A and B are shown apart, each in its own frame.
Chain A
Amino acid sequence: MSLIVRPAEPGDRRHLELLLAALMREHQRNFPGAYPVFQPDGAAALYATSYAARLGTDSRLVAVLAVDRAPVGCLVGEVTTRAVGRPATVCFVEWFYVEPESRGLGIGRALIRAGMTILRTHGVTHLECQSVPGDRQWQRRGWQETARRYVAPFAHVARWVELEEQNDHA
């Protein structure tokens, strides 16, 4: 049995769905308080379906699969262009996953290399990704933190404004 790393095709919808669902379940186990909240199976099915519809026709979607009899890993990214700021065109890595049983074999690196082969045609110079605050793996690998995203319930924002006003008048 051989490991094959190759670009994903429209017929890989089910493979992508299984891997994304496994990724989301593992992520929710490791980071139960993560925001926003996903329902793994439903979210994976929706993402996989939308990717399958674009594979082969939309070159800005970069999707690579590692298959060893069954799918064992995937990398999915989008080449995006921001309205302001340089570099304007980057690849944002949406999903990157290798099944636990297949880790430590270099499959992740093989996926990245395959993805980079595709990215060369886009002139992309930087990769971007996001992680939950407690996940330090990207910093350990030399990635640089560039921004943090914060959330507050609407009621909290309204209360915060009121509290600061009270402090001003105190």
Chain B
Amino acid sequence: MTVRPAIFADVPGLRRLYTALVAELAATYAVPYPAYGPADVDSFTLWTAGRLEQDPTVLVYVATDDVTGELVGFLGGEISERAMGEPRVFGAAHWLYIVPDARGRGLARALVERGCADLETLGVGHVEVAAVAGDRQWETRGWVPYLVHHSLPLAAVKAGAAERPAVDRPTSAASVAPAPPLEAVTPPPRKRRRRRRPAAQPRLVQGGRA
């Protein structure tokens, strides 16, 4: 087996591997979101065809069978830069896949080693990956989860936002003002009411105006 950077001629093979990766993910995990279909394979193909050997921030490596020359695995990602926050520059790994028949031979590690060598040359100090919900393989390898991605259909957002009345009237400044100390609160004056029962004892009211 050989591990090397991908070239434009690998695009058809990468398309085949990506299709297998998506199919295996769908069969292994309940991946409800986002959904992948045939059109997405085309989008992936366009992405690789348009950026391989053109965009220096794109890092894609392939593992090939020395006998048949076929691609049996790939690692794809890019060097990303966030607007703010440290580390500013990081390696973002998007895809790592080895066909089932070629597993257990250290190909994934060889791909990662090759990618790491290039990242080290470029001075990149951190690598980030995203895993579908339920896939904990990276945690078992010591990677630290730092963000959880959530989604909600707009209709559900709308229902949640409408379930209780929002503030659509003028609000009183007193309602959000800090409460004065208890000593400063004057008990409300007793109202004269005609009751047969004795009136309840006045209570200290905290918070000033209601």
Contacts and interface: CB of A to CB of B under 8 A. Distances in A.
B170 interface: yes
A146 B153 contact: no
Interface in B145-171: 145-154, 156-158, 160-162, 164-171
Contact of B83 (A47, A128, A131): A47
Contacts of A36: 82, 85-87, 146
A115 to B, nearest CB: 9
A35 B144 contact: yes
Contacts of A58: none
A121 interface: no
B132 A132 contact: no
A133 B142 CA distance: 15
A30 interface: no
Interface residues of A, number: 68
A131 B128 CA distance: 16
Contacts, number: 225
A158 B112 CA distance: 8
A102 B104 CA distance: 57
A149 B154 contact: no
A141 interface: yes
B23 interface: no
A105 B171 contact: yes
B46 to A, nearest CB: 8
Interface in B103-157: 106, 109, 112-113, 116, 119-120, 124-133, 135, 138-139, 141-154, 156-157
Interface stretch (B30-38, B57-65, B185-193, B202-210): B30-38
Given A46-B84, A107-B167, A165 B126 contact: no
Contact of B166 (A110, A127, A133, A150): A110
Contact of A153 (B39, B106, B126, B150): B126
Nearest to A139: B150
Given A36-B82, A86-B36, A128-B150, A156 B112 contact: no
A125 B173 CA distance: 37
B167 A144 contact: no
B85 A38 contact: yes
Contact of A146 (B133, B141, B142, B171): B133
